[in-house]
Each structure stands twice: as structure tokens, then as C-alpha cells.
Chains A and B, each alone.
Chain A
Amino acid sequence: MIPALDVAGVDHRIGAKSVLKQVSFAVAPGDFTVLLGLNGAGKSTLFSLITRLFNTQAGSISVFGRDIGRDPRAGLGRMGVVFQQPTLDLDLSLDQNLHYHCALHGMARSLADERITLELGRVGLLEQRADKARNLSGGQRRRVELARALLHNPALLLLDEPTVGLDMASRKFLLAHVRQLCTEQQLAVLWATHLLDEAGAGARIVVLDKGEVKANGSIPDILAQAGRPDLATAFQTIVGLDKREETA
């Protein structure tokens, strides 16, 4: 099966600093993959490369078999993205924000209307469609951003620390909604986070530390590799946090 996302041997330097070193992993359709790493591990840089904000300096990134460097438009058309920073235009209504996204994907107005109704309904915000984004809570805005990322029916969904700053209920909602999409629509998901509890059962884990993939596999694989009984201690062992604590 062709992976939805294939990151192969990616190196990236910013100035003299090496921020990604030989990063390789794949996300298959229907996979919920958690990119786990501490702040500064290189997650956002990797997202910038996958979304073509920057070129890949070494190695390759493919989306459904198409190299994003050679054919960026094919890849971008099939991916939906929820960025770490809030990106809604607060002065515009939800409807206007979402129609703008549909226009950027060249969608017809009637199709856009249909998709907006569906996706806003799924995140429970259909009634607020005409409200300004400014009037929504942080959790609601995140839900709109998730709905927006799905409007053009992507097959690959990227989320960069989507739950930062959200309350417990909003976090749970987002996570459950995305997991459901994986199961029901075979959506491939790459969910970057530093919060271990977001890697629930059935998730695949990629541990990124100081720009390197330190572990990659299912949760049982990760536990076996680290020789630890739970993900929290396994993560600490893999990234050397336990040693750092001991020396401290």
C-alpha cells in the first residue's frame, strides 16, 4: 500500500544548526500517528517542510507516492492542516473564513456551502456559522480550524500541537473526532504533540528528539524498545530524560 505520507532521510539545517537529522517514517491511510517530542525537538520544522513552507534540503517527502518537492500541488491538494498558531481571521464570520479556505482550493460555491454545512455540523458549530470568529472560545475556534482543514476532503490530516491552550473537554472532543475520522474515513493523521496522554490505544508513535527519530512503532513496540511498563516512562527513557534527571 502506498503510504499517505512518507518522510525519508530528511535532513534540515537552519544556518549552522542541524534541526532534523535523517528523519524517516511513514503514515499509512487510516493510521493515527502521534509525532511525540519535547518543545524544540523539530516538530514544527518538519511540518513546515511537509507543507512546503520550506524546501527539503536532503531526503524526500512524498504524499501518496508523489514527491512534494517535485509535485507540490498534488501533495498540498490532498492534505489538510491545523497549524499550531490560530489562523482564523477573527474579524470574519465562520462562514466567511471557511469560504475563503474553499476558494483557495478552487471549490465551487455550491460545493463549498455543502461541505461547510457538513463539517461545521460535525464539530457542533453549525448554529454559529454567521458569528464572528472573535466571539468563539479557544476550543470552538480550534474546532472550526479542524472543520476547515477537512473541507476539501483531504486524505492526509496534519495537526501541529492542536490542543495547546485548550481545556480538558475541548482536547477530548478534538482527539475523539480525529480518531473517528481515521476509523470511518481511513484518513491518515499525523498529530504532533508533547502531551503523552494524546497517544491513545491503537496509535502509532514517532518519537522525535533533538531532530532525530528515536523510536517508531506501535505503543507495545515502544514499550518493548524502552523496556518500560508505560508510555510516560518509556518516553523518558528514549529521550534520556530519566538520565538527565538522575544527573541533576
Chain B
Amino acid sequence: MPLIAYWRCFVGILAREGLRFIHQRERFVSALVRPLVWLVIFASGFRFVLGVSIIAPYDTYIPYQVYIAPGLMAMIQLFNGMQSSLSMVYDREMGNMRTLLISPLPRWFLLLSKLLAGTAVSIAQAYVFLGIAWFWGIRPPPLGWVLVFPALVLSGLMLGALGLVISTLVKQLENFAGVMNFVIFPMFFASSALYPLWRIKEGSLFLYHVCQANPFTHAAEMIRFALYGQFNLISTLVVLGATGLFLILGFIGYDPGRGLLAKRGGGE
């Protein structure tokens, strides 16, 4: 298959995800409302409760809503990744996934294209959120808007790949709500998205280590640093490593020979 065929395939998958997203307006609105509720209501309420000292990448004291904005961008991507995974389980049950998997292009490429397409959607959501957040005083430097792009690509891919792995583990759509509770909430709350880790350390050393081991913490930190024109090497390496691991597990899950789908067998 020539390279151009791969490109056409990728563009086709990207276009479909984009069209699906445009047609599901409520999904777009809820993807924006969720972080905005956190920013506008939650952050206002906790503004004077949670003091944030000067920590990197910030060089001054910052209001609480400025602190949580990057974490909320990561949250958008976390929800998007889980939503893609939900749609993969749905597509698999409904048969749509099969139309993708019978393409003559390699399966890893098809799944990666689907993940990248989902990531593109989540990046668009994150930028719209950032645009609205500007009116609430979230004003990162102009360069930050550019530098955060690769960080969003990487974190979106990691969270999408995590969703891919979950979609291979979930047998039926009905089981998904439980997984959401066991994945989204622990990942989000046991991270640096809402409070800096030194605050958690004061409360519980064990929890601090849990937060440090959580790849979502590193996605949020990578985005935070990039948004303020800095580079967080450790977080980037952790996100890269987690992305690689989740991708491998996801590809194995969808491999017809080794995957969990194969172990469950065909449906009559």
C-alpha cells in the first residue's frame, strides 16, 4: 500500500471524527460546560480557601483559578479520551468498529489514526476553553498558546490510548459507568490538577506518592509548564512512557491473535 493511501486513510478518519463531533452539539457543549463549571464556580468558591504559594512555572502569587486552568484543560482531554473509549465499545457492539478493522491498512495504524483524530477534537475543545477562560483572568503569555499545542497532542494521545486499553477490557456498554468511576475520578482527584502536590504531601505522604505515580498529574504539569513557556522534562518523559505503554497494550488488545477480544471469541 503506497504512503499516500495511509495519508488518505488518516484524513478520512480525522474527517469522520470531526463530523461526528460537530453533529453531536450536546457533546461539545458538555465538554465545555464541565471545566467552565469548575473554573467559574468551584475556583471562585475555593479562591480564598486554597492559597497557592509561588511554585514553578509561576513566578508570582497566582489566583486559584489560574492554578487550576491547565488541569482543567487536561480534564477535557481525560473526558474526551474516556468518551472515545466509550464510543469504541459502542461501535464494537453496534458493528461500526468492524468497518474500521476490515480496512486493508495495518490495524495499529487504524487505531493510532483514530486516537490522533480524537486528540485533535480534544485539542480544539481545550483551546475553546482557554479562549473563554481569558474572560476569567486566565491569560497565559501568547507564546504559551503555541507551546501548549505539542503538550496537548501528547497528553491527548496518552489519555486516548488509555481509553483504547479500557475499551478492550470492557465487555459491554453497561459495564462502562463503573469504569468511569474507577478511572476518571481517581485519576483527576489524585493529581496536581486541582491542588499542588506539596499541599497533598502535608496531608498524606502516601497520597502524595500516589499522585506522583499518576500519569494524569504529569499530563497536567506538562500542560501547565508549556502554557507558561517552560518545559517540564520529567513530566514529559512520564507522559511519553505512559503513552507508549498504553498504545502497546491497546494494540495487543485489538490484535486478532493475542487480544482480549480474541479470547472472548466471536458473537453469534
CB <8 Å contact, A92 and B8: no
Of A24-32, A103-111, A167-175, A195-203, the segment with at least 4 beta carbons within 8 Å of chain B is: A103-111
Q: Which residues in A have their C-beta under 8 angstroms from that of B24?
A: 91
Of B11-19, B125-133, B144-152, B224-232, the segment with at least 4 beta carbons within 8 Å of chain A is: B11-19
CB <8 Å contact, B12 and A43: no
CB <8 Å contact, B1 and A103: no
Closest 9 CB pairs of A and B: A103-B12, A106-B5, A14-B265, A85-B95, A45-B266, A77-B104, A48-B266, A55-B257, A104-B103
Closest to A37 in B: B268
Contact with A along B78-94 (1 / 0, CB 8 A): 00000000000000001
Chain B: residues with Cβ within 8 Å of the partner, total of 38
Q: In whole angstroms, how far apart are the Cα atoms of A93 and B152 in the complex? A: 31
B210 within 8 A of A: no
B105 within 8 A of A: yes
User: Min CB distance, A48 to chain B, in Å?
Assistant: 4
CB <8 Å contact, A53 and B101: yes
Closest to A132 in B: B23
Chain A: residues with Cβ within 8 Å of the partner, total of 47
Residues of chain A in range 91-149 having any CB-CB distance to chain B below 8 Å:
91-92, 96, 99-109
Q: Which residues in B have their C-beta under 8 angstroms from that of A51?
A: 98, 101-102
18 contacts between A and B (CB under 8 A): A42-B268, A43-B268, A45-B265, A45-B266, A52-B101, A52-B256, A53-B98, A55-B256, A85-B95, A86-B95, A87-B96, A91-B20, A96-B19, A102-B12, A104-B9, A104-B12, A104-B13, A106-B104
Q: Which of B9, B20, B99 contacts A92 (CB 8 A)?
A: B20
Residues of chain B in range 13-72 having any CB-CB distance to chain A below 8 Å:
13, 15-16, 19-20, 23-24
CB <8 Å contact, B95 and A83: yes
CB <8 Å contact, B266 and A14: yes
CB <8 Å contact, B257 and A96: no
